[in-house]
């Protein structure tokens, strides 16, 4: 069992060496994209919720 655990962590280290990590600029750009997309989706959901709420109040 101990050998399997050690082998697992050795494999993890090997795989982590293959990873291509983003640069600071790439990370900043990706963060901005995620934040803008989140904001757009939040505004869209809020608008739909408001419209449905007003429609239901008008009906009821």
Six-digit token pair at 24?
Answer: 């600071």
pLDDT of amino acid 35: 98
Sign, Cα dihedral of 20, 26, 27, 29: negative
**2 in a domain, yes or no?**
no
**7 in a domain, yes or no?**
no
The CA distance from 44 to 36, in Å, is: 12
pLDDT of amino acid 60: 87
pLDDT tens, the chain, 60 aa long? 999 999 999 999 999 999 999 999 999 999 999 999 999 999 999 999 999 999 999 998
The CA distance from 54 to 14, in Å, is: 57
Number of domains present in the structure of the chain: 1
**15 in a domain, yes or no?**
no
The CA distance from 18 to 59, in Å, is: 59
pLDDT of amino acid 47: 98
The CA distance from 5 to 12, in Å, is: 11
Domain of residue 42, residue span: 21-60
**3 in a domain, yes or no?**
no
């Amino acid at each position: 069992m101990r050998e399997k655990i050690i082998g697992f962590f050795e494999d993890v280290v090997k795989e982590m060496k293959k990873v291509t990590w983003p640069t600071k600029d790439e990370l900043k750009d990706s963060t901005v994209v995620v934040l803008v997309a989140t904001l757009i989706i939040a505004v869209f959901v809020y608008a739909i919720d408001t419209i449905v709420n007003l429609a239901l109040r008008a009906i009821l």
